[in-house]
Structure 1
Amino acid sequence: MLAEPPRSMDPADQSATATRSVLAPFYETLVRQDETGALHPALATAWTSSADGLRWRFAIRPGLRFHDGTNCDAAAVAASLRRLIDPKAALAGSGIFREIISSVEQEAGDVVVTLRHPYAEILPLLSVTQAAIVSPRAAARGDLGRHADGTGPFVFVAWRQGKDVRAARNPAYWGPAPALDRLRWVWSPEPSVLNMALQTGDADIVDPLAPVFARLYAPGERGATVAQVRRAPGAALFWAALNTKLPPLDDSRVRRALGLAIDRDALVAGLLHGFGRPACHALTPDIAGARSCAPGEARAHLAQARALLAEAGHGSGFTIAVAVQEPEEPIAEALQAMWRGIGVTLEIRRQEAGVWVQSAFAPPEAKRRAGTGMIITSWSAPFIADLQLRPLYASVSAAPAGANLGFFSDDAVDAAINAVAEERDPAIRRQTLDDLQARLDAQAPILPLYNADTVYGVRRGVEGVTALRDGEIIVAGASLAEAALPAGGAP
């Protein structure tokens, strides 16, 4: 059971974590990542690259078939990837691939992917859901958004709007046969409904399980007899984007002062009930070369913050306005209380989703007129360094074009992001990333707050359920013990 319905059955036309969980049993990629981030063969059995890193050759597993019965051979794989980079296809999740991949060709039983420039993380990129291989016949038919058609261990049965998505075991699957004969996904936006479904057995798996309910399943509690809580380091990064075009936030000293006055440990304890980690720097901890919070760094340092404000000429404080949606309002209220200690007044403007999107992605002049100084939001951050940095910090990503909501612009940062993307030497990449994070720490255009863990509930007797690092829940390998609920419950 999920908190939201899927957005599409087309893996390339979505970017939502919940949707990826639904699509995972239907589709496969050339390579796959496990919960540790390690890469393994999937539809490709092996791969090699040219010395310059521009041409990648993938040997396609023989004997594959799509759910519609057509062959999944090198020609079909190449056609699927060409669709991914075709600008005419206008697929929601394909933009980054068009920027990196120049062409895709079939050569005998292999697929050759040619890049526009060296890209150090091409294999992890090709493992994400958006790069899943789809049936060219289904894509040509035009109904892939409503009817999934891949090579995975489960075949699509039905998507009933507002009700459920159903899947059945794929009898022709090339790999180990699933233990379950069917899957059914349902959803509700209410955390209490998800929790109750886990307790009553209406759902075998619930994702996410709100941290406030997690204690109900602790050892010794009544809930522990029916279900268990599982947690994994998550990709959900929460942050506050500061309007670098609006005084006094156009002064990096003021922005750094706001960051110093945040008690991130308290945010994790109070808002996440401990199910998360403070975020002090631009990259999430799972990225090789990411800076972690130093000892004591996640606590508030009010004296240093006041000194910086005084140096910037704002020792008596100031008022800024923040736009938030309802789920992020508690974060704003916590920051409001913390910043009172340095004389800063935070005006909270809670907005419904459509209005918030307009506020968040408004251009500089519109935000100046509205007096919008800050946006609080989150995203499921990919575990690829440049894909975490470019959308939030690159000049070309400034709103309304992208998610650089505070209009930050720095030529050195832009150049470093590009260098990180192309550099294949791990030592050089780490040094570049370290220098880049130090520069962003000094500029503080965004205040990282915390990373929320993936917290999900699993009924007793249900085994083989895992969570990937991006928060995607993998159920294709699940099984039910004899004492468990009947197969076919609602994940």
Structure 2
Amino acid sequence: MEIAGDAWERPDGVARRLVYDGLTQLDSSGALRPSLALTWESDNNNHRWQFRLRPGVRFHDGSSLTSAAVAASLVSSCAADCPWSAVKAVGPLVVFTNESPMPNLPTLLAGDQFLISLTATADGKTPPGSTGTGPFQVNGFNNGTLALTANENCWQGRPFADAVEIRVHRPVREQWLDLSVGRADVVEVPAEQLRQAQQQRLSVLTSPPVTLVALQVSDVGALANVKLRGAIAAAIDRSALYNVIFQKQGEVTASLLPQRLSGYSFLFPTERDLNKAHELRGGLTTGPFSLATEGDGPMQLAAQRIVLNLREAGFNVQMASAGARHADLILQELPLIGSDPAAAMEQLMRDAGAATPVEAATPAALFKVEQTYLDEKKLIPLLDLPRAFAIGARVRDLRLRADGTPDLADASLEDAR
């Protein structure tokens, strides 16, 4: 497999779910399923949850999966802004408590940031490399290639493939060339290049929209004025981003949740309204504001287009340097998790910095929560994008997970002989 980024990056680095498991998992349709936890239950109106571990599971180094190891991993991966205030081991149980209710905790725990890794060996030492319970274990990293080998004792059963090699930081053009000559079996297809891949007759697996492209807006200084933030939202031309930069892939949106999850996304208007932007700005001379993006390539182009949009609305906006951490506006990609709308909304809001439980149980209640949040204009949804991968002729039974990453554990290769 070849990728343009890093195999371990969050969210959804392709190696992470090959090496690690979570307490829960989402199937290909986004439904919640057991994983390292067999069962779970809540009490005290969702202020307390307990998860019972699957017996007999071992880490790659042979050590047993224990509730203490799980708690230590979760404390290490989520030191602040967690969906819980405390996590502890109680016999075979992992217990979460919080002052606020946690109605969506089982689904949130299926997220990439809560995958379980071994943080200390039996003698208290830091384990070498990345040690999990997943279908593959790390064998080494050399010359830009991460080598994984099959976990013979995986609790889910041994994977079909004996080994996986992930070549990182490969430009997409080189990935496609390697696929065409048989040097790669699975390569990335960025959303904006899906049409090109189809024209080249590549065999492409495409997920539903699983990534929200959104603009996060600071609420300090001049941008503490909600009308100014509203002017920014009205000035952005989503259609240009969709049609020109992302080549009509995915969906234009002004809501957190895609239409397939909420059923009401169409109620949030997506059209650009430059007159409204000027009206909300009220003639104020503002800025200069800085705009940064977490991605490269099309995300950089999208950021530059947004800068032009905002200048047309009278804002003084400049592109921030790469890696800027304190920009006034940040164009980012946020993962959409699962098929439960309330859990997906809570995760999106958490990723955007709003650690608020979402308890809505009906579409009407969910719409009210979303509308109240979006009215603050601290997060401006723009597009929902799919993830896609092209596969070689000898790949069999490869499917995409709910997050759009390839499930290599269930895939196999046709014998070349």
Q: TM-score if structure 1 supplies the norm length?
A: 0.72
Contact 1:233–1:453 under 8 Å retained in 2: yes
Structure-2 residue corresponding to 1:159:
141
Structure-2 residue corresponding to 1:314:
283
Structure-1 residue corresponding to 2:356:
418
Alignment partner of 2:375: what SS? helix
**Residues 1:49 and 1:243: Cα distance change in structure 2 (over 3 Å):** closer
**Residues 1:141 and 1:286: Cα distance change in structure 2 (over 3 Å):** farther
**Residues 1:35 and 1:93: Cα distance change in structure 2 (over 3 Å):** farther
Give the CA deviation at 1:141: 5.5
Separation (CA, whole Å) in 1 of partners of 2:21 and 2:361: 28
Alignment of 1:377 onto 2:332 = yes
Give the CA deviation at 1:43: 2.5
* Aligned with 2:95 (options 113, 137, 162): 113
Contact 2:84–2:98 under 8 Å retained in 1: yes
Alignment partner of 2:388: what SS? strand
Give the CA deviation at 1:113: 1.1
* Aligned with 1:331 (options 275, 293, 302): 302
Separation (CA, whole Å) in 2 of partners of 1:259 and 1:461: 47
Alignment of 1:270 onto 2:244 = yes
Structure-1 residue corresponding to 2:72:
83
Give the CA deviation at 1:258: 3.0
* Aligned with 2:208 (options 227, 233, 240): 233
Q: Which amino acid aligns with 2:68?
A: A
Structure-2 residue corresponding to 1:3:
4
Alignment partner of 1:418: what SS? coil
Contact 1:49–1:55 under 8 Å retained in 2: yes
Structure-1 residue corresponding to 2:131:
149
* Aligned with 1:215 (options 195, 206, 211): 195
Separation (CA, whole Å) in 2 of partners of 1:115 and 1:42: 21
* Aligned with 2:53 (options 55, 60, 63): 60
Residue-by-residue CA offset, 1:188-231 (whole Å, 9 max, x unaligned):
25232223222232221113x2345433432xx4x32xx31222
Separation (CA, whole Å) in 2 of partners of 1:126 and 1:393: 18
| Larger Rg over CA atoms | 1
Contact 1:79–1:136 under 8 Å retained in 2: no
Alignment of 1:435 onto 2:368 = yes
Separation (CA, whole Å) in 2 of partners of 1:441 and 1:68: 46
Identity value in percent: 21
Contact 2:258–2:384 under 8 Å retained in 1: no
* Aligned with 1:128 (options 111, 128, 149): 111
Q: Which amino acid aligns with 1:323?
A: L
Residue range with higher mean Cα deviation, 24-33 or 177-186: 24-33
Q: Which amino acid aligns with 1:273?
A: Q
Give the CA deviation at 1:100: 0.3
Alignment partner of 1:217: what SS? helix
Contact 2:401–2:407 under 8 Å retained in 1: yes
Give the CA deviation at 1:290: 7.8
Give the CA deviation at 1:182: 0.9
Structure-2 residue corresponding to 1:203:
184
Give the CA deviation at 1:186: 0.9
Contact 1:322–1:376 under 8 Å retained in 2: no
Aligned residues: 407
Contact 1:267–1:334 under 8 Å retained in 2: yes
Q: Which amino acid aligns with 1:82?
A: A
RMSD across aligned C-alpha pairs, in angstroms? 3.2
Separation (CA, whole Å) in 1 of partners of 2:353 and 2:118: 36
* Aligned with 2:18 (options 7, 20, 25): 25
Contact 2:209–2:387 under 8 Å retained in 1: yes
Separation (CA, whole Å) in 1 of partners of 2:132 and 2:300: 40
**Structure 1 stretches lacking a partner, 5+ long:** 8-13, 361-372, 395-416, 487-491
Q: Which amino acid aligns with 1:194?
A: Q
**Residues 1:70 and 1:157: Cα distance change in structure 2 (over 3 Å):** same
Separation (CA, whole Å) in 2 of partners of 1:292 and 1:272: 20
Give the CA deviation at 1:120: 0.8
Give the CA deviation at 1:104: 2.4
Separation (CA, whole Å) in 2 of partners of 1:241 and 1:82: 32
Give the CA deviation at 1:381: 5.2
Structure-1 residue corresponding to 2:411:
478
Q: Which amino acid aligns with 2:72?
A: R
Equivalent residue runs for 1:247-326 within 5 Å: 247=222, 249-281=223-255, 283-285=256-258, 289=262, 291-294=264-267, 297-306=269-278, 308-309=279-280, 313-314=282-283, 320-325=288-293
Separation (CA, whole Å) in 2 of partners of 1:154 and 1:419: 34
Give the CA deviation at 1:272: 1.1
Give the CA deviation at 1:345: 5.0
Q: TM-score if structure 2 supplies the norm length?
A: 0.84
Separation (CA, whole Å) in 2 of partners of 1:134 and 1:182: 20
**Residues 1:437 and 1:46: Cα distance change in structure 2 (over 3 Å):** closer
Give the CA deviation at 1:320: 4.7
Structure-2 residue corresponding to 1:410:
none
Separation (CA, whole Å) in 1 of partners of 2:267 and 2:45: 37
Separation (CA, whole Å) in 2 of partners of 1:443 and 1:60: 41
Q: Which amino acid aligns with 2:398?
A: V
Structure with greater helix percent: 1
Separation (CA, whole Å) in 2 of partners of 1:68 and 1:122: 29
Residue-by-residue CA offset, 1:266-313 (whole Å, 9 max, x unaligned):
2112111122222303x2328965851348x3232334444x24xx53
Give the CA deviation at 1:15: 3.2
Structure-2 residue corresponding to 1:95:
80
Separation (CA, whole Å) in 2 of partners of 1:155 and 1:391: 29
**Residues 1:318 and 1:68: Cα distance change in structure 2 (over 3 Å):** closer
Q: Which amino acid aligns with 1:151?
A: T
Contact 1:211–1:455 under 8 Å retained in 2: yes
Structure-2 residue corresponding to 1:389:
349
**Structure 2 stretches lacking a partner, 5+ long:** 338-342
Contact 2:41–2:51 under 8 Å retained in 1: yes
Q: Which amino acid aligns with 2:240?
A: A
Q: Which amino acid aligns with 1:459?
A: G
Residue-by-residue CA offset, 1:14-72 (whole Å, 9 max, x unaligned):
73322xx2021222222211122211122233333335334434343333332222333
